[in-house]
Structure 1
């Protein structure tokens, strides 16, 4: 049944725009071809291989961040401007949600005025799906509690630049099975021969639903994903060692002793010595001395800050794909 507004009319897209929109709410919504195209396009932007012709001229993109963000918020704001769009920014205290308006009503109203909305919430992606269902503007998930899809595109773009291919790449992820790890699992397993080895503390692994879908992708593409909750056994050699901050943005841990549980999963010189050919990645922000030592993060095998630059290129690819 088509959606209708309270006055009985169908919702309308912003002026001059089509009603059927592309959204990026989860990597599971993307076809393989769409995922591959977004990663390649991001890498093309990173190599300055795409002329900036203002494909989003005349568009207006809203950015709504309820929780803190340095890289993602800046990346999408700059990406929209570089592609020719204008940006309207909303912080956690700016919208009438604070006075009781529902997220659904807020999204319906924004969709009558904006061409796209980039949103970071502290909830699951279900809230964004309710907004996207109106199809009056494109909606981009800039991180929810269960997945960080644009981080997945960023990571694969950075790896593609560094290694020239993603097929057959071997990645060791160490730390919490958080939304960054979920996005990595849902993306890398769709490349032939790729391997993702997860080492997560017991009780802090990937959600079972995410692992199940990632295994399905791996089986279909000849890839591998496996998870252990100790550091005793590592793959013989890997191309990438990846970690993320132990305390994910907007979350807290019930166990007051959680740092003790996480301590064996620190990425340090000893771990990197066990992976002598590996390049180091981190989604940032980093807490030196917790999930990674300064020696590794700032060392010559780290491309973490080049990886951060790919946030911009990934945002450009996503906005272009959604709106151009």
Structure 2
């Protein structure tokens, strides 16, 4: 049984296959086939979602599956049933469970401890793996490759940044530089894992906590929302620490051809100015569209493992 809980659950071949399949779906112009014909996909979101929930719901149906949706107040866990028992029931009725909990991944890994139903992490507090597949698909569609790209990530080392660093670091020649506010960088173990991947693949991963001496000739500038869904920051003055990390048009002086990426939703005037998000460099909404194709690739990959 194939599950996707973390990018690090994937082999290099798995990751490359998912990006290639997602890119193929993106260029298929509706000719997807129906590889999930007869499958039932559960879509369980305890936190808000626009892109990821729509991507998996629409993607599953485009591939021939039927979907069952659950909101945060729909299950008997609200009346005391254990998550383990809920997962055991899901596994006897569903072929795939797509879940967003915004908690750690332990619950999802518990659900994945069986051989009947695939489990897909549609975002946890720790990581957003399907976002990374969409991000790499966007790079492949824009540049024709992921290898040897120079990428600057600006902002918090959140769950999107975690998945992005763990995925991008596996591609040869990539240079990923993260500029994160002091105290808000990638978790230490994640940075170590990303650097280990980079050493093996011939990539480079750097992290600094200031905005001085920025690299030039970038291919991509990427940022994310400062307030990640389902989280809060304990420091009441956190905005002061984040303010220097706003993405403005000034970042394009040394990299005039760089594309701009954002996982959305965006808050114009906070992490990015409207001039950048709505400007000619922005491919953020192409990136959003690619979430459906990445969802389709992940669903197809999970189910092919049991056929």
User: TM-score, normalising length from structure 1?
Assistant: 0.92
Count of residues in correspondence between the two structures: 304
Cα distance between partner residues in 1 of 2:280 and 2:210: 27
Offset at residue 142 of structure 1 (A): 0.2
Cα distance between partner residues in 1 of 2:116 and 2:110: 12
Larger radius of gyration: 1
1:2-151 to 2 correspondence within 5 Å? Answer: 21-48=1-28, 51-151=31-131
Q: 1:311 corresponds to which residue?
A: 291
- Equivalent residues of 1:44, 1:50 under 8 A apart: no
Unaligned runs of 5+ in 2: none
Cα distance between partner residues in 2 of 1:23 and 1:163: 29
Q: Of the candidates 151, 161, 166, which is equivalent to residue 141 of structure 2?
A: 161
Cα distance between partner residues in 1 of 2:138 and 2:219: 13
- Equivalent residues of 2:102, 2:230 under 8 A apart: yes
Cα distance between partner residues in 2 of 1:39 and 1:104: 32
Offset at residue 52 of structure 1 (A): 2.3
For the residue of structure 2 that corresponds to 1:250, the secondary structure is coil
109-118 or 47-56: bigger deviation: 47-56
For the residue of structure 1 that corresponds to 2:253, the secondary structure is helix
- Equivalent residues of 2:25, 2:32 under 8 A apart: no
For the residue of structure 2 that corresponds to 1:93, the secondary structure is coil
Q: 2:227 corresponds to which residue?
A: 247
Q: Deviations over 1:169-209 (max 9, x none)?
A: 11000000000000110000000010110000000000011
1:182 aligns with 2:162: yes
Cα distance between partner residues in 2 of 1:44 and 1:247: 33
Q: 2:279 corresponds to which residue?
A: 299
Q: CA RMSD in A?
A: 1.0
- Equivalent residues of 2:40, 2:96 under 8 A apart: yes
Cα distance between partner residues in 1 of 2:42 and 2:300: 15
Cα distance between partner residues in 1 of 2:248 and 2:33: 44
Cα distance between partner residues in 1 of 2:247 and 2:253: 10
Q: 1:208 corresponds to which residue?
A: 188
Offset at residue 104 of structure 1 (A): 1.3
Offset at residue 316 of structure 1 (A): 0.5
Q: Deviations over 1:15-63 (max 9, x none)?
A: xxxxxx1101111010000100100110111111783221101000000
Cα distance between partner residues in 1 of 2:252 and 2:104: 34
1:218 aligns with 2:218: no
